[in-house]
Chain A
């Protein structure tokens, strides 16, 4: 079955450490996205990529970095510059040709600080 796989499901970060969250899709979608969700809140866009080797900052990109070297992969690095990284991180993908195409989401990675 096609879908989006995020790993790991749970991740712990030490102070000053960078961590990388994995997102892989086999839906052959060109566009991929990273969102952050805090308890009781909606999703906020971190980064998005409409095509391989290109990505754009979302609303809350500070302290995060991404790469898009392959169509199926869009890893997110949470750097030590992100002072409040504890959150639920969601990756999504879509067909970008028109803006109203539904986004397909993975089941998230929950990041906590040790």
Chain B
């Protein structure tokens, strides 16, 4: 199971773009990169998932370079409500695959 490394915390201001980078050097061929968001006293919420290049949805973009050893979650124009913990996970696509949550990145958005 690939281990991920991401910053413990980040600070930003309203209206800025936030980029959170995740390192996953041992990612396997059939692994996907998945990001979850968690607010205090709530369960994590799936944000975005990708395999290679770029994926964009209404919430975020995910950039994955060709070697797939890292990925960057991009949150455009953050607001105070984006203050949360963001988890980067690497998940295999075949059969049951256990989710391994690290400590995540605590993003604080300031006025």
The chain A residues found within 8 Å of chain B, CB to CB, are: 4, 31, 35, 40-45, 48, 50, 58, 88, 90-92, 96, 98-100, 102-108, 110
Return B69 CB to nearest CB of chain A, in Å: 18
**Interface residue? B53 (CB, 8 A):** no
B34 contacts A43, C-beta separation under 8 Å: no
CA gap between A58 and B100 in the complex, in Å: 11
B residues neighboring A (CB under 8 Å): 32, 34, 41-46, 49, 87, 91-104
State whether B94 touches A99 (Cβ < 8 A): yes
Shortest distance from the beta carbon of A79 to any chain B beta carbon, whole Å: 23
Choice from B91, B96, B99, B103 contacting A41 with Cβ under 8 Å: B103
For the complex, give the distance between the alpha carbons of A108 and B11 in Å: 27
Q: How far is A11 from B93 in the complex, measured between Cα atoms in Å?
A: 36
List of B residues within 8 angstroms of A106 by Cβ: 43
Q: How far is the CA of A35 from the CA of B101 in the complex (A)?
A: 10
Partner of B32, one of A45, A100, A105: A100
Assuming the A-B contacts A42-B102, A100-B34, are A107 and B42 also in contact, with contact meaning beta carbons closer than 8 angstroms in the complex?
yes
